[in-house]
Amino acid sequence: MRFPLLAVGLVAACGGSDKPEPPPPASHYLASQAAEDNTERPKATPRPPPPVETHAQATPPPRPPADPGPPPPVDGVYVPRYLRVNGSKVLDTRIKVKGTVVWIYDCAADVAAQQPDKSRDDIEKLIKKKPELCKRPHFYLGDKKTTPRERAIQVVEVPRPLRADERISLPKDQVDAWPEVPSIAVGQEVTVEGKWALNSPKGYANPDGLLVYGRLVP
């Protein structure tokens, strides 16, 4: 009776059983999960800011010297600029002023500007007939030839030549006492004596001051 036992042993040896082998025990470790790293890493150094391009500052130009102001009178003679700045100090005083003639009143040119349609001959005839069209003679005195009229001083009540009708109508003593007419020209340097004032006896007025003509100083 050894044959059946042998058959059972062969079946067991040859794996004749139909039952599957149990799976291996599951592992709780995930291969893709990295282990926690507690190693202290050095802190990142902040990147320095980019260099700022600087331009050398230009040296400022030197300041002009301060204006010393108009020169004071020398030997009692003033200059026009002094009177424009400090004229109030010598109001109603007879003074001498040295300067250059920069403008002279021209009656014919003044009337021609108002009546541009008339010829030069017509203007002269009109002035002879109506002398009241002319303003009283005056001129402007500056510190130099290039001084504009706006920065010069006004000289008024300048004597004018006698008219032909005046030589006949005026008394002889008045004609003989007629003041001497100054001989001046634009660009000429002259010294004028007169009274510094705001108003003249015959109607001129200037808030900046004016010189009432007295005479030319040689």
For the chain, the structural domain boundaries read: 77-216
153-178: burial string, b at 16+ Cβ within 10 Å, e else = bbbbbbeeeeeeeeeeeeeeeeeeee
For 39, phi and psi rounded to 5 degrees? -75, 130
CATH code for 77-216? 2.40.50.140
Residue 15 is predicted with a pLDDT of 47
- With a CB cutoff of 8 Å and minimum separation 6, the contacts of 212 are 156, 157, 194, 195, 196, 197, 200, 201, 204
pLDDT in tens, the chain (218 residues): 444 444 444 344 444 445 555 555 554 444 444 445 556 666 667 777 777 666 666 777 887 776 678 889 999 999 999 999 999 999 999 999 999 999 999 999 999 999 999 999 999 999 999 999 999 999 999 999 999 999 999 999 999 999 988 999 999 999 999 999 999 999 999 999 999 999 999 999 999 999 999 999 99
What is the C-alpha to C-alpha distance for residues 139 and 183, in angstroms, rounded to an integer?
A: 12
Rounded to the nearest 10°, the torsion over CA 149, 153, 154, 158 is -120
pLDDT value at residue 64 = 74
* pLDDT in the model for residue 8: 42
Residue-level pLDDT at 60: 76
pLDDT, position 175: 94
